[in-house]
Structure 1
């Protein structure tokens, strides 16, 4: 995000998308857990609109400031009994799905504004300029929502993908130790920060998000008739 200080639409789009995305992500997981008859997430206090450390860690903010993507703090769910692991996995998947739907909604908004700008010509040129900023803002929001979706599926705790991996994976001693190191030892956080930051600092470094974001965005755009370059 720091690399877009001279681009107001990009800067505002990233910030808005991150805050909105995290709030909607938490709400979607809590709702899905409630449908699966798990009351624990609802008691987490994450249905409010605040963005404190309970919802977003300082490390996640670092990822957003440098690389434009971060992650939500895990919501505790009733995953004690193995028989409920598929219920919890479904609730966790509601988070990444909410990011994808938000990206789709942002692209739809950009498409609507673009069509209006094409129609509004002549004496209403000022509206076209305003529409251009709005379109750019929504496109950056779509890119950020897509990046959040991709990052949330990286199979490393504390992401949703990481939690699902160890939830559905074997219950051997080795897996439990690996899960403990990734979560309690913050090794997972270090890996996520490397995934986000290293490609920004070293352009030749492989970027998981960079390689997947454009296929994802184009795919979502094709659903509503947008042909992205």
Structure 2
């Protein structure tokens, strides 16, 4: 239990930023393409309290961290914020613009992962202080949580971002049929999670991405 508090302290900021900025990006891009719904709801903001979901942003990540810390076994840390409201019918080109609105979240996670990698490189390249190890651990957490959210959301399962991207790219009738899977998206994810399929898909992608960051920035910690 004593190890849980510092673990939460290290992960809190990366998780909060990864989840809330992901959602804010959707709203910002939706506004750019003509839908002001998120702006009118006050959701295009960097204020994390506007995006926090008590369960998805707080309880679920802490619960996963607690189980991982106490059991000593790794797991996929993920969570979610309150979804940013987007009215796709108000976009100037609803089907085409849907792609950019959906892609904004994973792209934001990619940018943040790169930012955390730069921080990790900085920590390993400067004289060691009392802050070096916590900085490296937080940067590692930032790279991991953003990689998880990026690849998880790119899965082609509605209503995940990858599902919406697929709907945008598929021809009309096929896109309509595919979009009808949306009510079953979350149950499908739960089945994939508890059967280990989700981890089998995501971990190789995450590991490869982490290795690519380390190679590009020249660190191997």
**TM-score under structure 2 normalisation?**
0.76
Pick one of 192, 195, 203 that aligns with 2:189: 192
What runs of 5+ residues in structure 1 fail to find an aligned partner? 121-126
Residue deviations 1:136-185 (CA, integer Å, cap 9, x gap): 1211121111111111101112211112212332433x7545533x33x3
Query: What is the aligned-residue RMSD (CA, Å)?
Result: 3.2
Contact 1:106 1:139 in 2 (8 A): yes
1:26-56 Cα distance to aligned partner (Å, 9 max, x none):
222222222223323322432353457x764
Hey, what's the Cα distance between the residues in 2 that align with 1:196 and 1:51? 28
Q: Is 1:70 equivalent to 2:79 in the alignment?
A: yes
Partner of 1:96: 106
- Judged with a 3 Å threshold, the aligned counterparts in structure 2 of structure 1 residues 160 and 71 are, in CA distance, closer, same or farther, namely farther
Secondary structure of the 1:207 match is helix
1:219 paired with 2:212, answer yes
Number of residue pairs matched by the alignment? 207
Conservation of the 8 A alpha-carbon contact between 1:71 and 1:152: no
Conserved 8 A contact 2:24-2:43: yes
5+ residue gaps, structure 2, are 65-75
Tell which structure's C-alpha radius of gyration is larger. 1
Q: What is the Cα deviation at residue 8 of structure 1? A: 5.1
Tell me how far apart the structure 2 counterparts of residues 5 and 150 of structure 1 sit (CA, whole Å): 32
d(CA) in 2 for partners of 1:57, 1:159 = 20
1:101 deviates by 0.7
Structure 2 residue aligned with 1:32, among 29, 32, 35?
29
Partner in structure 2 of residue 45 of structure 1: 42
Preserved CA contact (<8 Å) 1:46 1:55: no
CA contact (8 A) 2:18 2:109 kept: yes
Partner of 2:220: 228
Work out whether residues 33 and 91 of structure 1, in 8 Å CA contact, stay in contact via their aligned partners in 2. yes
TM-score between both structures, scaled by the size of structure 1:
0.73
Map 1:3-22 → 2, pairs under 5 A: 6=3, 10-22=7-19
